[in-house]
Structure 1
Amino acid sequence: MVVCGDDGLAHRLAAELRGVYGEQVTLVVPPSERSVRPPVVGRARATTAALLDRVSAAVNRAGGNGEPVAGAPVAGAPVTEATEPNEAVLAAAGVERAAALALVYDDDETNIRAALTARRLNPRLRLVLRLYNRRLGQHIEELLDQAAALAAGDGDGAGVDASTTVLSDADTAAPALVATAVAGTSKVVQTDGLLLRAVERTPRPGQVAEPGLATLALLSPTGNGSGVPEGSGPGDEGPSLLPDAQAVRGATGRGTVVLEQVSYAGPSLPPARGAVPFASLFSRRLRWSLAGMVACVVALAVALWLVTGIHPLKAFYLTLLDLFAIDDPAIGASVGRQILQLLSGLVGLLLLPVLLAAVLEALGTFRSASALRKPPRGMGGHVVLLGLGKIGTRVLTRLRELSIPVVCVESDPEARGLATARRLRVPVVLGDVTQEGVLEAAKIHRAHALLAVTSADTTNLEAALYARSVRPDLRVVLRLYDDDFSTAVYRTLRAAHPRASTRSRSVSHLAAPAFAGAMMGRQILGAIPVERRVLLFAALEVAGHPQLEGKTVAEAFRAGSWRVLALDTGASAGRREESAAEEAYEDGRNSGLVWDLPDAYVLSGTDRVVLAATRRGLAELLGRRPPERAVPGATAPGHPLRP
């Protein structure tokens, strides 16, 4: 596999492919990447070869956030230096013989140009592109897929997955950032609009841990993640992936890793209002003024009726004429009539500024209906989102999809995310977060969490420290660009506030697993580390897989290899009438996924399922043979880095 890029995401992706999937990787980077420390990945120690050092021990180490880093750098990746990925550079990197190519340059145009060239050099190549423009990405994806289909029609790509996948680091990192703010972890997999997380549960002595949507693994008895590598023999004390029900029942006292859906239990969003309510058109003071004027008109009409004895309706009519100064003077009339006419004219003069104020306030209300909203009084339990740039915009959209109340803070009045906030009617505070009173205006003292995702590390850190001073137990999630800085910040904040949840995240660190999964094929949804091992999540069509087709859910389950988790009803509409899954479908109709499938449910060729699998199990299902090659540092046949 070939990875081309000019920032830290390329290094993260290469490390993920080597460390998690055991693939052979060629890295194409600009010449300066070998002398200047790569951003995000941290201090590269002079060369890219040194960056891809530290083998299996780094796979399990904590990466600045207290969680295992599955994609650790691995030595031995060839490096090609090039300013841009032209045809000669791609050919030198071996694109014509590669299985997949990732183009993760920060510039969309560079990625598109290189993708068109690579598709011409190798029509059977699986392409993964990093593009921020979603609409353009869809067109490019269709174009490159069409070119691959034409090549396959000529017999060049038969039986080869030459798909094209367009991803954005902002889109792939947003779910993990949201899950960190809501649930305190980034071990998440996104599928069909749902966020699923892997949670470690430690039971009480002599008891079995509570189950979730599915039990993914039994942790090692020591519980410290230092178990013996997988497949090391009968005395293996490492984690047990995808255990059967009997093994779970017999695992008394052992921790488990279960699958849960990430949800928000705080206050819900107020219902959306399409039109501006009448009461909000005018202020309270203006409404009282109008009410006073109406009362004066009614009083004058009643007085005129009593003084002159005319019909009440005529008295009200004459009062209005006097009020608007369009009646004849009451010359020759009684003194009472003349006095009332003068009073009506005076009230008419007072009415003019009130009517003018009402018109101006109504115009201002309609104008502000399309402007930025302010945080409502009494708001609480919300998420304060700092920064509405490329990452912040995607995070805001994801939070709103989960119906989580948000208050945004942005210093740039021309930020790209302000239009999204205005469209979603999300309250926004415009101001520099480093200035006093800005976070208070965002109701930070009542917030559930703070998400600081600006492009400046110091700004994010300053906001987190100030929020901690206002509310020590506030959950804080920081986006920090440098890994070394992130590690130091996390450890210091954790030591200073041990009872508060603090997480520091790098966007490239969060996005790399999704890009790596796409390079393995479109069916890969994500990967979750379990101590020294990795579980993969995939969506597969049952047709063409004899291990699944025509078998019940119980028969299709293979302990330690794969397990069917859910049925994708969106792709399996023809099977919804099955009585065995009808009840489960009613429970999952909102998300399109059916969980807790009955063991007797028969998988047909028209079904599409979501399953969890080990690397060996997924390779067997997909008909891929793991490469038989030596991994540096691997002496036993069951080394954890061997696929």
Structure 2
Amino acid sequence: MSVDPARRSLVSRLRQTLPGNGDNRPHFVVCGADALVYTLAEELANAGHRIRLTVIVPTVLRRDVPDLTALRGVRVIRADRLDERTFRAAGLDGAAALALVMPDDVVNLHAALCAQAVEPDLRLVIRMFNTGLGYGVRRLFEDCAVLSDASMVAPAFVAASLGDLAPTHVRLPGRTVHVARRENVRPEQVVCTLTASDGNGRVDLLPDEPAMPAQQPGDLVLAEARGQAPAPARRRRRPFTSLGRALRAALNRKLGIAVLVTLVITALSGGVLAHSLHYAGFWKPVYVTLLTAVGSSDVEENRNAVGQAAQLILTIAGLALLPLITAAVVEGMVNARLALAGGRFTGRREDHVVVVGLGNVGTRVLRQLVDLGIDVVAVDISREARGVKVAEQLRVPLIIGDAASEDVLRQASIATSRALVVVSTDDVTNLQAALNARAVSPDLRVVLRLFDDDFAQRVDTAFNIAISRSVSRLAAPAFAAAMLERDVIATIPVDRHAVLLANVRVTGGSPLDGAPLSQIERAGSVRVIGLAAAGQEWVDWAPDPRRVLATDDRVVVAARRAGLRALVEQASPPPLPLELGESADLDA
């Protein structure tokens, strides 16, 4: 049975006014075990006194997760199992929303079912890697948002590795918008400016248009897509590429040298033998040489010493030649089959992308690069990683080894690659792999995943690795917005930041009710891109900033996280001036 939206809104408002243990703020609960749980908690904690926040984490956390107790006003509960008992202890009964961001889809689904038994009217925000499973899970619950952080951020890593923009297209009522460079779109297509550079290295995000510096070619804009967007550039696949890889795989370097040396000795010894016996013509010397090499020669006592020595060396060389040829044939066939099947990386490659770390994000990046026709070499330290089977299915060459080792990077032909994408979950390993790759190829494009934003900026300065991204930082705003029931349309990655496209509805009695539209605009924080009048679906994509806002008007904005949070508060009424007794009936 579906829940009436008006009733749900009333329930939510009443919960905020009920005197629950002396604190009438809405209660939010977050469950997780990796970096995303901290970033999401930090995002929600920044809402200040407006919410109460409880975070449930395992007894032993990953070392890359900062201390959650350092966050102001956050209650931390440690539990190794997310069941009804744990949720009741966390006070889930009566809570407004629950975010399940564990890195395991099945754990999140089980926890959601347990949570629903504790609080049926709960809003659920569930992290899912398997999108097919996510669609099914969404239908199980009345009020549920299913999000994939890997799907959100993978386009940004792919675009950065190719030196291009993230392929972000967003469908809005009556138009589709996308991120583009200013020089690639006509002025009338520009919806708003995302970044503005002053030419001296400083970049402003969501700048005020009238105060913008001189436009730079590299500035990013949100533009209207008119007509069919150009398809991503695909590399032409030559028909004999697989056969060439198989042949290169068959030619093992050490074995090839051994075979070559043996053949040279055989040829020289055969020449000396033929000369000592005074053979004439071509066939007889070759015949005697090859026959001797395979051990079919007889001892000739009357032959001179030089001829005997040559025959002796030739016989010994022949004994070595046959096993070497057999080994070369066997290894060549095995390596060729492995290369064709993508079982492991053998041979040298050029102009490919090396992807290190085949977890959730690495697997998404791998798939998208293959879809774009880009040659990829995958590296992971564990054969049990999620993306290993995907690499084998896609016939992507795979190396099982530590990417922090320079030998492993050389095996992946890092010197001749076009980019290195390092997306493992260990910051130290990621940085070490990036530095070792730069030592081999100083001009290599490196896309580095780092959790800590401050650490990423210092890496930029100290090591000149300018493309470093935090998955949790890019994904957390969307999860937080879903918990707060904000109508976020899309999350657009811009450099290491995230710009949110969202609908904000003006509530009667709020500070924005009766205010001009221009009051919403804030340089570097919020840009208005559209307005829909109350009760209308049509959106005015060029609204007059002098337009006076009314109740239920819907404003479409491009905003940063803090800007959207402040705007939602402006569009919301103050707390209800009601004092409800303990007998207040939420089901009335």
> The TM-score by the shorter chain falls in which range?
0.5 to 0.7
CA contact (8 A) 2:29 2:55 kept: yes
For 2:435, the aligned partner's letter is L
- Where 2:446 maps in the other structure, the secondary structure is strand
Spell out the pairing of 1:499-510 with structure 2 (5 A cutoff).
501-510=465-474
For 2:490, the aligned partner's letter is L
CA contact (8 A) 2:97 2:124 kept: yes
- Where 2:448 maps in the other structure, the secondary structure is strand
Q: Residue 448 of structure 2 aligns with which residue? A: 478
Alpha-carbon deviations, 1:2-36, whole Å to 9, x = none?
A: 32233331221133345589973513234969xx8
Choose the corresponding residue for 1:259, options 213, 217, 222: 222
2: CA distance, partners of 1:109 / 1:179:
31
Residue 536 in structure 1 maps to residue 501 in structure 2: yes
Number of positions where the alignment pairs a residue of Structure 1 with one of Structure 2: 429
Residue 51 in structure 1 maps to residue 71 in structure 2: yes
Choose the corresponding residue for 2:126, options 112, 125, 129: 129
For 1:214, the aligned partner's letter is V
Q: Residue 626 of structure 1 aligns with which residue? A: 572
Q: Residue 340 of structure 2 aligns with which residue? A: 369
Spell out the pairing of 1:229-268 with structure 2 (5 A cutoff).
239-240=207-208, 253=214, 257-259=220-222, 268=235
1: CA distance, partners of 2:361 / 2:451:
13
Q: Residue 179 of structure 1 aligns with which residue? A: 159
Residues 137/367 of structure 1: CA separation in 2 closer, same or farther (3 Å cut)? same
Spell out the pairing of 1:285-324 with structure 2 (5 A cutoff).
none
Q: Residue 380 of structure 2 aligns with which residue? A: 410
How far the C-alpha of 1:536 sits from its partner, in A, is 1.9
Choose the corresponding residue for 2:77, options 75, 81, 85: 81
Q: Which runs of 5+ in 2 are unaligned?
A: 1-27, 257-324, 506-531, 548-554, 576-588
Q: Residue 469 of structure 1 aligns with which residue? A: 439
How far the C-alpha of 1:420 sits from its partner, in A, is 1.4
Alpha-carbon deviations, 1:494-515, whole Å to 9, x = none?
A: 2xxxxxx533333322331332
Residues 449/617 of structure 1: CA separation in 2 closer, same or farther (3 Å cut)? closer
How far the C-alpha of 1:80 sits from its partner, in A, is 4.7
Q: Taking structure 1 as the reference length, what is the TM-score of the superposition?
A: 0.52
Choose the corresponding residue for 1:511, options 466, 472, 475: 475
2: CA distance, partners of 1:435 / 1:221:
38
- Where 1:504 maps in the other structure, the secondary structure is strand
CA contact (8 A) 1:528 1:536 kept: no
2: CA distance, partners of 1:515 / 1:392:
20
1: CA distance, partners of 2:441 / 2:197:
38
For 1:103, the aligned partner's letter is L
Q: Residue 283 of structure 2 aligns with which residue? A: none
CA contact (8 A) 1:561 1:617 kept: no
Alpha-carbon deviations, 1:443-485, whole Å to 9, x = none?
A: 3223222111234433322221122122222221222355565
How far the C-alpha of 1:521 sits from its partner, in A, is 5.8
Choose the corresponding residue for 1:214, options 170, 190, 197: 190
Residue 445 in structure 1 maps to residue 415 in structure 2: yes
Compute the RMSD of aligned alpha carbons: 5.6
CA contact (8 A) 1:180 1:503 kept: yes
CA contact (8 A) 1:225 1:531 kept: no
Residues 121/432 of structure 1: CA separation in 2 closer, same or farther (3 Å cut)? closer
2: CA distance, partners of 1:532 / 1:274:
39
Residue 558 in structure 1 maps to residue 558 in structure 2: no
**Higher RCO (CA 8 Å, separation ≥ 6 residues):** 1
For 2:412, the aligned partner's letter is A
Residue 114 in structure 1 maps to residue 81 in structure 2: no
2: CA distance, partners of 1:87 / 1:259:
45
Spell out the pairing of 1:376-391 with structure 2 (5 A cutoff).
379-380=350-351, 382-391=352-361
CA contact (8 A) 2:30 2:41 kept: yes
2: CA distance, partners of 1:475 / 1:516:
32
Spell out the pairing of 1:576-587 with structure 2 (5 A cutoff).
none
- Where 2:158 maps in the other structure, the secondary structure is helix
Q: Residue 6 of structure 1 aligns with which residue? A: 33
Q: Which runs of 5+ in 1 are unaligned?
A: 53-76, 149-161, 204-208, 228-237, 286-353, 495-500, 563-609, 630-643
Alpha-carbon deviations, 1:151-175, whole Å to 9, x = none?
A: xxxxxxxxxxx2341x344333323
Q: Residue 598 of structure 1 aligns with which residue? A: none
Residues 442/486 of structure 1: CA separation in 2 closer, same or farther (3 Å cut)? same
How far the C-alpha of 1:424 sits from its partner, in A, is 1.7
CA contact (8 A) 1:379 1:443 kept: yes
Residues 120/447 of structure 1: CA separation in 2 closer, same or farther (3 Å cut)? same
1: CA distance, partners of 2:43 / 2:392:
38
Alpha-carbon deviations, 1:267-324, whole Å to 9, x = none?
A: 71526899979x9799899xxxxxxxxxxxxxxxxxxxxxxxxxxxxxxxxxxxxxxx
1: CA distance, partners of 2:392 / 2:121:
44
Q: Residue 591 of structure 1 aligns with which residue? A: none
Residue 526 in structure 1 maps to residue 507 in structure 2: no
For 1:492, the aligned partner's letter is A
2: CA distance, partners of 1:282 / 1:14:
49
How far the C-alpha of 1:393 sits from its partner, in A, is 1.7
- Where 2:162 maps in the other structure, the secondary structure is helix
Greater Cα offset, 89-98 or 469-478:
89-98
- Where 1:11 maps in the other structure, the secondary structure is helix
Alpha-carbon deviations, 1:340-387, whole Å to 9, x = none?
A: xxxxxxxxxxxxxx99x999977985675334364775622x321122
Residue 392 in structure 1 maps to residue 398 in structure 2: no
CA contact (8 A) 1:513 1:527 kept: no
For 2:157, the aligned partner's letter is L
2: CA distance, partners of 1:456 / 1:530:
21
For 2:29, the aligned partner's letter is V
Greater Cα offset, 396-405 or 480-489:
480-489
1: CA distance, partners of 2:402 / 2:498:
44
Residues 427/522 of structure 1: CA separation in 2 closer, same or farther (3 Å cut)? farther
Residues 466/263 of structure 1: CA separation in 2 closer, same or farther (3 Å cut)? farther
CA contact (8 A) 2:152 2:491 kept: no
- Where 1:476 maps in the other structure, the secondary structure is strand
1: CA distance, partners of 2:107 / 2:354:
35
1: CA distance, partners of 2:564 / 2:502:
9
- Where 1:491 maps in the other structure, the secondary structure is helix
2: CA distance, partners of 1:612 / 1:428:
44
1: CA distance, partners of 2:492 / 2:365:
21
For 1:516, the aligned partner's letter is A
CA contact (8 A) 1:189 1:525 kept: no
Choose the corresponding residue for 1:140, options 137, 141, 163: 137
CA contact (8 A) 2:101 2:108 kept: yes
How far the C-alpha of 1:219 sits from its partner, in A, is 7.1
For 1:7, the aligned partner's letter is D
Spell out the pairing of 1:581-620 with structure 2 (5 A cutoff).
612-613=557-558
CA contact (8 A) 1:517 1:525 kept: no
